[in-house]
A and B are shown apart, each in its own frame.
Chain A
Amino acid sequence: MENGSWEVLGSKGLVKRHEFVRIMVQCLYSLGFKKSASCLENESNISCKSDDFAILEMQVLSGNWGSCLGVLDRIFDNPKDDVRNTALYLVFKQCLFEYLKRGDASSALNVLRKQAPMLLVGKEKIHRLACDIISSKEMESGEVDNCLVQDLRKRLLVELEMLIPSPIVIPERRLEHLVETAVMDQIDSCMYHNSWDAVSLYKDHHCGRDQIPSETVQILMAHKNEVWFVQFSNNGKYLATASSDCTAIIWKVLDDNKLELKHTLQSHQNPVSFVSWSPDDTKLLTCGNAEVLKLWDVDTGVLRHTFGNNDNGFTVSSCAWFPDSTRLVWGSSDPERGIVMWDTDGNEIKAWRGTRIPKVVDLAVTPDGESMITVFSDKDIRILNLETKVERVISEEQPITSLSISANGKFFIVNLSSQEIHLWDLAGEWKQPLKFSGHKQSKYVIRSCFGGLDSLFIASGSENSQVYIWNLKNAKPLEVLSGHSMTVNCVSWNPRNPRMLASASDDQTIRIWGPAKLKNQLDNRKLQ
């Protein structure tokens, strides 16, 4: 009989006092505070081990199998319960082991033939016991090592603990589990959560705006015309931008998070609308809507190879790399070009052409290199598994302008000219996409990207010159960033720095966004 078992705690009276004390005792024991735990048990008159379990423990450790089985039979009252029968089976097994070690075969057989069936353990378990006798090496008669027997009895007790239900035995580390559940719930409803740091238990977890990029920290002015594309390298150390001034620029991210121009890539004769970093970040691909595809060396800024030529109205709308950084694939909005896979030396490996391949609007390869996603101008998204050749098609209802895959390769987003961003899962289990809106898009190609901790955020450009940020949990924007003076075409979130975002605009600039500093500065002043 436990003290105060009728008392409840908490403002809603949902928590039973004696249960609360009992899990506290368990917690103290598991943290190693044996004296304190024992003290609390005495003071509260509530012990961690239930009476039933204390009895069971005594019987097991002294090998009183008959009583032990009796206790278990009482605890588990349903003979059809497999957990009950497993527990009984374990006890019988230990019992048989001890009989056989002593050379007492007839007692062992008696267990099998009389005791086990009497407790309705079930035919399957009895047969398994018979097999255990023969097949387990331990059961051969021999030296009875008392230490070994005691060890095995302790191990049996541990196994029984895992089977016996509460309240006789409470699950391990119960208090820790309850606290962790509460913390996870708080994190779940935290919209700005963007950091890996452990949470403090002293106050309810609630991240502030300062966790995500929301203010301009730098404006990059080097392009001489509209900037159409921007993308951070995979290692987060570089940024590439592409412009209708027919150049692409590689910028370096310095230690103080400021960016500095490294190389200007000049060679294209027409506007550059797309770039792609090789997975190892040593090479960069650039291409444009009425342009060829060029391969550059990142370190030196030197042009390595040109795919195609400008004479025949060549046009590559999009390109992507394979994980080996030596194979790449491009898609063309010219149906005759189709989709072609190359190696970096300029050899064609594979091609998809023909009537089934209309204009390619955008394409991407999953980080593991297994699937290729292509967006076609007829509003189809096709996901092709390159190994099995199985293809899945998603038909959207509005024209799609761009595609982006998450870092873990499990999800992708598409921008639709109906001013919605649709999020789909690559595995194909979702019947409907998650939808995000709030930005403006109707005439131009606007691009979005995943970002932040575990890709929990999406950012997008917009025709109203603002940058939009959503938390995946909510269809409405979390933040709207102002600064640009014209349409924002493209955004890129630094994969290694969840607090750095870049945006490219028709106003010829690139803006780098970072966390709001104002609150921290105020706090620092107060401390002084």
Chain B
Amino acid sequence: MDPRQFEHIVVNDNDTHSIVMSYLLHNCFSETADSLASSTGIKQPAIDRDNLERRKQIIHFILEKKALKAVELTEQLAQDLLEKNKDLHFDLLCLHFVELACAGNCAEALEFGQTRLAPFGKAQKYVEKLEDVMALLAYEDPEKSPMFHLLSSENRQQVADNLNRTILEHVNHPGYTPMERLLQHVTVVRQYLTEENGKDVFPPFSLKDSLKG
């Protein structure tokens, strides 16, 4: 079978709709999901709406620089989740520290650091990040410091995605969407084919090129 003859494979509409739906629900786009359901007529899978709304809130708090509120909601949702995921807990607390430092609230940042962050310093794996975060205090303008990446929205998004995934896995839902998995598969398979047959026959997978059509 020639891997280039994939155009003959028939793709069912329902399948594509399901993939998009699962992506929307994973990322808490509840209104868009409702809209998709009514337009296409496919049924929404029986998911926990309450869980989804909470996740939506939590993610928003993180992106809106309210990390401590996100922590509070998470603890309400699942009491032991942060205890069992110390790395994530640490990342969230660091976000709060960064928020305080950026707001110029140094005395509070100092106290928060001494009471909530310092205990993490006992484990070697947190020491490097802790040093980076603490060092923000040495700069009047944290944006101009070498650790400016800690202030970026990309950083916040990454932590938010991580928390979202962890909550889903905590309630026994898959942590990754089928969409992501499919893209990962395509990339790997294409890579394999490139290695076996050369770049001219099978160029590596590029999403940008695929979107151009």
Contacts and interface: CB of A to CB of B under 8 A. Distances in A.
A113 B142 CA distance: 11
Given A109-B106, A135-B130, A127 B114 contact: no
A113 B118 contact: no
Interface in A50-97: none
Interface string A109-135: 100110010000001001111110111
A112 B137 contact: yes
A139 B113 CA distance: 12
Contacts, number: 52
Contact of A127 (B110, B121, B135): B135
A105 interface: yes
B66 to A, nearest CB: 22
Contacts of B140: 113
Nearest to A127: B135
B117 A129 contact: no
B148 to A, nearest CB: 14
A129 B138 contact: yes
Contacts of A116: 138
Given A105-B107, A133-B110, A135-B130, A112 B138 contact: yes
A280 interface: no
Nearest to B114: A134
Contact of B110 (A113, A126, A129, A134): A134
B134 interface: yes
A260 interface: no
A14 B173 CA distance: 84
A385 B136 CA distance: 54
A140 interface: yes
The number of chain B residues touching the other chain, given as a range, is 10 to 19
Interface in A127-160: 127-131, 133-135, 139-140
Q: Which of A116, A123, A133 has the most CB of B within 10 A?
A: A133
Contacts of B118: 134-135
Interface string B92-107: 0000000000000011
Contacts of A131: 121, 130-131, 134-135
Interface string B104-147: 00110010011001100100000000111011111110000010
Pairs A-B, 7 closest by C-beta atoms: A127-B135, A134-B113, A112-B138, A130-B134, A131-B134, A130-B135, A131-B131
Interface of B: 106-107, 110, 113-114, 117-118, 121, 130-132, 134-140, 146
Given A105-B110, A127-B131, 18 more contacts: A105-B107, A109-B106, A113-B139, A127-B135, A129-B138, A130-B134, A131-B121, A131-B134, A133-B113, A133-B134, A133-B137, A134-B110, A134-B117, A134-B118, A134-B134, A135-B118, A135-B134, A140-B114
